[in-house]
Each structure stands twice: as structure tokens, then as C-alpha cells.
Copies of this chain bind each other. A is one copy, B any other.
Amino acid sequence: MAKLDKRDEIVRAALELIAEHGFHGAPMAMIAGRAGVGAGTIYRYFENKDVMITELFRELEERSYPLIKEGYAPDKPHRERFIHLNTALMHYFIGNPLDYRFIEQFFNSPYGVAHRRDKLFGTKEGCDVFKELFEEGISQQVMKDLPIVILFDLAFGPILGVARDHILGFIVLDDALIARTVEACWDAIKR
């Protein structure tokens, strides 16, 4: 097994186990076992468990970003662009429930708070398309003139919730329902 393979296996195993059992239900030894490496080996790639989790989130972000941006046309109207992005996001979540569960846990933890702080105030890049879209939408008076943070909450809060309800089996999403949900989010932010 090459070096990168090992790292990948660790990442994969950690994602699976944390998604399934939460941070505290996924001991390092279990992750190592699932990854097929020694427990000590994880520490060659990650300084400690916290760092591993943060790193893992970063990789998820990087992996998902292109998927969401795929087919994104910056020239289309704001509404269309928003719907494109949010639909892609929803599809990403329900198509990758492990990723979703991990991200949800991450946001709802001290890690998530720090991360959000960095995103909003720091120099960290990430949801830049969204940010740009929102800023443009506000300035062009297509969207409500609310703090951008609030627009994020209006746009993504329901998506996260609906994705969770689907993954947990409370509802069964189909393309029509996704479209109507995303549309409703647009109603929330549009002028």
C-alpha cells in the first residue's frame, strides 16, 4: 500500500465511522482497524484527532465544491444561478449521505464554530460563488438587503434540514420536491 493509499484509507474509514457513530463513537483504534492500518500510523498523517477531523472536513469541502459548481453559468440570471447551486447542493447531500452526516456533525461542534468564524471574517476561501452571488444579488436589488450571513441561513438552513429529513427517512425526496424546496428558498431571499 503506497503512502497516499494509506492516507486515503484513513480518511475514508474516519468519514464512514464518524458519519455513522459521531465523533465520540469513532475511536482512533476503530478507524485504524477499518482503514487497515496500525493505530499509530494515523498519527503520521495527522497530528491528533482534532486535526484529522478538521482536515477531513476541508477535503470534503474541496471534493464537493467542483460538484456543486459544475455547469454553473455566471451569466445566467441570479434566480437561475441560485437554483442551480442549491439544487446541486441538495443532490450532493442526498447522494453522499456519509458526507452530509459528517458535515452536519462538524458544523454542530466547536470545530464548526471556528470554521464558520474563519469563513465569514477571515481570508479563508470556500463558498465564494455563493458569497459573490449574494453580494451581487443584493447590490442589484434582486435579493433582500439583509446581512449576508442571514441570506446564507435562509438559503442553506432549509436545505440542510430537508436533506437530513430525507436521509433519516422522514420524507422521500424526488426531483420535483427538490425543485419546489429550492424554489421556496429562493422566495425567502428574493426581493
Interface of A toward B, CB cutoff 8 Å: 22-24, 104-105, 108-110, 113, 116-117, 120, 144, 146-147, 149-150, 152-154, 156-162, 165, 168, 170-171, 177, 180-181, 184-185, 187-190
30 interchain pairs, CB-CB under 8 A: A22-B110, A24-B24, A104-B108, A113-B168, A116-B168, A116-B170, A120-B170, A144-B180, A144-B184, A146-B181, A149-B165, A149-B170, A149-B171, A150-B165, A150-B177, A152-B161, A153-B161, A153-B165, A154-B158, A156-B161, A157-B157, A157-B158, A157-B161, A158-B188, A184-B188, A184-B189, A185-B188, A187-B188, A187-B190, A188-B188
Q: Closest approach, in angstroms, between the C-beta of A32 and any C-beta of chain B?
A: 15
Q: Closest approach, in angstroms, between the C-beta of A162 and any C-beta of chain B?
A: 5
A158 touches B168 (CB 8 A): no
- The 3 tightest CB contacts between A and B, nearest first, are A157-B157, A153-B161, A188-B188
The CA of A78 and the CA of B153, in the complex, are separated in Å by: 23
Say which residue of B150, B168, B185 sits within 8 Å of A117 (CB atoms): B168
The CA of A185 and the CA of B150, in the complex, are separated in Å by: 11
Specify which chain B residues have a CB less than 8 angstroms from the CB of A185 in the assembled complex.
154, 188
Say which residue of B23, B24, B147, B177 sits within 8 Å of A171 (CB atoms): B147
Specify which chain B residues have a CB less than 8 angstroms from the CB of A188 in the assembled complex.
154, 158, 184-185, 187-188
Specify which chain B residues have a CB less than 8 angstroms from the CB of A189 in the assembled complex.
184
Closest to A189 in B: B184
Q: Closest approach, in angstroms, between the C-beta of A29 and any C-beta of chain B?
A: 11
